A and B are shown apart, each in its own frame.
Chain A
Amino acid sequence: MTSFSRTDPSILGRWWWTLDRSALLVLTLLFAVGAILTVAASPGAAERIGLEPFHFVRHQFVFMAPAMLIMLAVSLLSPRGVRRLATLVFAAGLALVVATHFAGVEIKGASRWLSLAGFTFQPSEFVKPCFAVVAAWMFAEYRESENFPGRAIASVLLLIVVALLLMQPDFGMAVTVTAVWFVQFFLAGLSLWWVGLAAVLTLGAVTAAYSIFPHVANRIDLFIDPSSGDSYQVSTSLKAFQQGGLLGRGPGEGIVKGYLPDAHTDFIFAVAAEEFGMLAALAIVGLFFFIVLRGLTRVVREADLFVLLAVAGLLTQFGLQALINMGVTVQLLPAKGMTLPFVSYGGSSLVASALGMGMVLALTRSGYRDKSSAK
């Protein structure tokens, strides 16, 4: 790689020198962490449901190289290219989400998955990052073009996405998408009056969700009073953290992964803490924190509002998902199925995360201006 000269005019040369290389390094580390933890956590889960132990491992590793390639390929794009790609994938993803209602595979009481060539995949995972880019585009255009109803379009799109997600039902993702949309709106200059109102509305929405969706009510009840019902996963997860201590039980020595149903997906962080200890867990938290903060500090100097909003949206989604996932495993938040980007088992999640981070890498390339996209 170092063979590129700083003045290398080729696409790859320009890419390398303008890229946020430390973010790329940290993302690569996250890939590695995901690989290690999948090996650590998933054989137990696979055996428990009668699959051969390395079923999940192989399944996940199949997706790893493509995901990495997708991330790198997307990071080559110009902001305009990112915008076009996001719009396309968003449209296609939305169509597929609609399709899940007719041709979906139901897993654990929700129809979020489509079966494709032997793999099941979850189109909503791809809608998530792409919607952030599309919404950023709309908000930026509202500011910069005359007579353009960007805010209205972004809001209508949000309503469609949320409605589709709630029908699956996928409450967690609906909340994530809404939160990201709101952060972008906030950055795009939403009046503080509306921010206050949104806070009130959020409270109202939570109350409404609590009374409308029984599984939401159940989770929140359990969070407030864990003894009110079966909080098996969370209490087992807490035990993992307590038993892991500072340095962990050692690789492969974990116990909870043997009986924690979602050890390889939503509770993989607990497995990490039990086997590798608090320091490793803090390091993982640090990787996520680094990516979020690194991206945000880079776009503060950004002159293009679209780029700023898109990156902020993508990172908010990434950071929020990581925070919620880890927050649930340590019982800071009510139990909510949310994957840990790049780490949890799940092909769709991995590829979609790679897509999102690829777009962040593309949009945060320094000193690189795609003049055409500003206007």
Chain B
Amino acid sequence: MSDLSVRPWRHAANDMSLDEGDEKLSARQARRPLETARTRLFVAGAIFTLCFVILGGRLVQLSLLGGGQNQERAAEHQGGLLTLQRADIVDRNGALLATNLPSHSLYVNPSQVLDAVEAADKITRILPELSRDKVLRKASATGQFAWIKRNLTPDQHYAINRLGLPGFSFEREERRVYPHGSLFVHTLGFAGIDNAGLAGLEAARDDDLKQIAKTPDGKMVTALDSRVQHIVHAELSAAMATFKAKGAAGIVMDVHSGEVLALSSLPDFNPYELDSSIADQRFNRATLGVYELGSTFKAFTTAMALEYGVVDINDRYDATKPLKVARFTIRDDHPQNRWLDVPEIFVHSSNIGAAQMARDVGAERQKDFLARLGMLSPLPFELAENGKPLSPRHWREINTMTIGYGHGIAVTPLHLISGFATLVNGGMRTTPTLLRRPVTQTGERVIARETSDAMRMLMRMVVEQGTGKQAEAEGYLVGGKTGTAEKATVGGYKKDALITTFVGAFPMDAPRYAVLVMLDEPHGNDATHGLAAAGWNAAPVFGRIVSQIAPMLGVMPLLPSGEEQQQDQTQRLLVRADGKGRNFASF
């Protein structure tokens, strides 16, 4: 073993690992480097162990946890591909009502086209709906750009791309798709070729839809229920055919939240075939059209009179003969020719009685009451098509009296059903909405609970004993009011052009949903003995709709064998309405 202390040629600085003390302890010198090496070997082993453990940990992270950051990056990347210009619209159950699909549009840069004739021939063979001359003109024009066809199908895109025609290129676009076709066209509306909302919710909430589209998985949730919508649409279509009506409208609304579950206006149109639709198809009868809705307004008159204490439920009016006011004569459609009390006026739909009741309330209070029900101004509904009600500028006594039975004021069907929802839900103002809204968000009180209770009772009686018998949906305790109004034209009313309406709610012991059915110019047939009044057409449609949607909406029917039980229900209803226990069912 060498003596390390004698190393004359080595500079001390070269040997910094050995301090001066070591130089003297030659006995330990042989062991010392080994000791150091062994100690340091542990350090090296520890570092290696650490590195291998980190590597193992990373493996677990990558394989089992998906690698954290990188997967997020991957997701972002994917999200980038799928970012669309407009958000999806879904119904209350998440069913897709409108979405955007990527598509390709064909354009031509004429300066690059080699053989315009050949190109026009080949393209019109794949797209036969195009005019060959038009394509030829576009392909041989001067300029840099002309659309040939927007939003090709993948098949067309492939076939045209395969032609390999110079100058013809594709632009990636997006196409708005409505999987239900025309079913929701009067609520959703539609978006145009450049993805701008042009009608309905698409137009009214255009900015929202574009904003929501930027959030991951963002979609607009509507209050609509596609199952209910389908039934309303189908029943209205059938009714239009049966009664040879010009048009129809139907609405289903949650009476507490004001959420619109279904809204249809017929005739409607396919949003993809906008160009071939006519104005009547594009006209929304449910929200844009304003109509004199006739006797249905007697519900408001009755509620108003009870609310202001102008009449007691037992008060009676003279309906023995037509009522002459100034130069007008008010007649009854179902004349009883006797004195009628308030429930009788409502159940038999007496114009004479309702007019007198309205007169007793007075113009100012009537106006105020209708305003609080929302009947005098456009609704804040989430559509581009919201009709403005028509009401008299000078609200004279005769106006008060005719408005008492629904003439001289025109509102949209949506106004009417919202008012009815208010009457039956306990008296809180219902504002319709197409979007989800929590029930807790109730409006202001319009009528007292007692008045609302009385109205529920009266509406039930209309179905049990009055003009709305055909609206019955067995087991669901429906109630409502018929309305048959002659259409106003210049200089008077058209006798044979009717607007018939049935509006009501169910179940009447604790109403949950209001339903409105309106037919535009229905005609009588053999089954109706040639009659065209609301009780013969709108009412049965109402009944059919309720009996189909109630099970879907979780409304429990009364037991089929429960004749007695139903009696009990009505009894309870009536007792509550009267407050004194008088049984109105004896009328």
Contact = CB atoms under 8 A, between A and B. Distances in A.
Contacts of B66: 242
Contacts of B55: 285, 323, 326-327, 330, 332
Contact of B44 (A273, A278, A316, A327): A316
A331 B70 contact: yes
A285 B62 CA distance: 15
Contacts of B7: 146-147
A323 B52 CA distance: 7
Q: Looking at chain A's contact residues, is the secondary structure mostly helix, strand, loop, or mixed?
A: helix
Contacts of A323: 48, 51-52, 55
Interface stretch (B30-38, B278-286, B426-434, B528-536): B30-38
B58 A330 contact: yes
A242 B56 contact: no
Given A189-B37, A323-B51, A238 B44 contact: no
Interface string A78-105: 0000000000000000000000000000
B41 A273 contact: no
Contacts of A296: 41, 44-45, 48
B276 interface: no
Contacts of A235: 70
Contacts of B17: 189-191
Nearest to A194: B16
A246 B64 contact: yes
Nearest to A145: B2
A144 B1 contact: yes
A285 B2 contact: no
A277 interface: yes
A242 B62 contact: yes
Contacts of B583: none
Given A146-B7, A188-B33, A244 B63 contact: yes
A245 B64 contact: yes
B48 A319 contact: yes
B101 to A, nearest CB: 27
A326 B56 CA distance: 10
A305 B1 CA distance: 13
In this complex, which of B10, B44, B55, B56 has the most chain A Cβ atoms within 10 angstroms of its Cβ? Answer: B55
B37 A308 contact: yes
Contacts of A245: 63-64
Interface string B43-67: 0110011011011101110111011
Interface in A289-339: 289, 292-293, 296-297, 299-300, 303, 305, 308-309, 312, 316, 319, 323, 326-327, 330-332
Contacts of A188: 33, 36-37
A51 B59 CA distance: 32
Nearest to A311: B41
A191 to B, nearest CB: 4
Contacts of B234: none
A277 B60 CA distance: 10
Interface string B2-38: 1110110110001011100000000000000110111
In this complex, which of B6, B34, B56, B62 has the most chain A Cβ atoms within 10 angstroms of its Cβ? Answer: B62
Nearest to A239: B74
Interface string A134-165: 00000000011111000100000000000000
Nearest to B1: A144
Contacts of A49: none
A281 interface: yes
B52 A288 contact: yes
B70 A278 contact: no
Contacts of A193: 16
Given A278-B63, A281-B59, A305 B54 contact: no
B211 interface: no
Contacts of A278: 59-60, 62-64
B34 to A, nearest CB: 6
Contacts of B9: 147
In this complex, which of B2, B10, B37, B49 has the most chain A Cβ atoms within 10 angstroms of its Cβ? Answer: B37
Contact of A187 (B4, B41, B52): B41
Contacts of B172: none
A146 B58 contact: no
Given A190-B17, A191-B16, A281-B59, A297 B45 contact: yes
A323 B59 CA distance: 12
B137 interface: no
Given A144-B2, A146-B7, A151-B14, A293 B58 contact: no
B557 to A, nearest CB: 52
Contact of A282 (B1, B34, B41, B56): B56
A29 to B, nearest CB: 17
A241 B63 contact: yes
A33 interface: no
Contacts of B44: 183, 186-187, 296, 312, 316
A197 to B, nearest CB: 10
Given A296-B48, A305-B33, A242 B71 contact: yes
Contacts of A187: 36-37, 40-41, 44
Contacts of B60: 278, 282
A299 B70 contact: no
B16 A293 contact: no
Nearest to B18: A189
Contacts of A226: 73
B70 A238 contact: yes
A323 B50 CA distance: 11
B45 A238 contact: no
B42 interface: yes
Contacts of A227: 73
B254 to A, nearest CB: 46
Contacts of A145: 2
Contact of B54 (A241, A303, A332): A332
A273 B62 CA distance: 10
Contacts of B58: 330, 332
Contacts of B2: 144-146
A292 B48 contact: yes
Nearest to A244: B63
B63 A273 contact: yes
Contacts of A282: 56, 59-60
Contact of B49 (A183, A190, A293, A332): A293
Given A238-B67, A282-B59, A323-B52, A300 B41 contact: yes
Contacts of A151: 14
Contact of A186 (B14, B40, B67): B40
28 contacts: A146-B2, A146-B7, A183-B44, A187-B40, A187-B41, A187-B44, A188-B33, A193-B16, A194-B16, A227-B73, A238-B62, A239-B74, A241-B59, A241-B62, A242-B62, A242-B70, A245-B63, A278-B60, A278-B63, A281-B63, A282-B60, A289-B49, A309-B37, A312-B37, A312-B41, A316-B44, A330-B55, A332-B54
Given A187-B36, A227-B73, A293-B45, 12 more contacts: A144-B1, A145-B2, A146-B6, A186-B40, A193-B16, A241-B67, A289-B48, A289-B49, A303-B34, A305-B37, A312-B37, A332-B54
Interface of A: 143-147, 151, 183, 186-191, 193-194, 226-227, 235, 238-239, 241-242, 244-246, 273, 277-278, 281-282, 285, 288-289, 292-293, 296-297, 299-300, 303, 305, 308-309, 312, 316, 319, 323, 326-327, 330-332
Q: Which are the 7 A-B pairs with shortest beta-carbon distances?
A: A278-B63, A191-B16, A146-B2, A241-B62, A189-B17, A289-B52, A143-B33
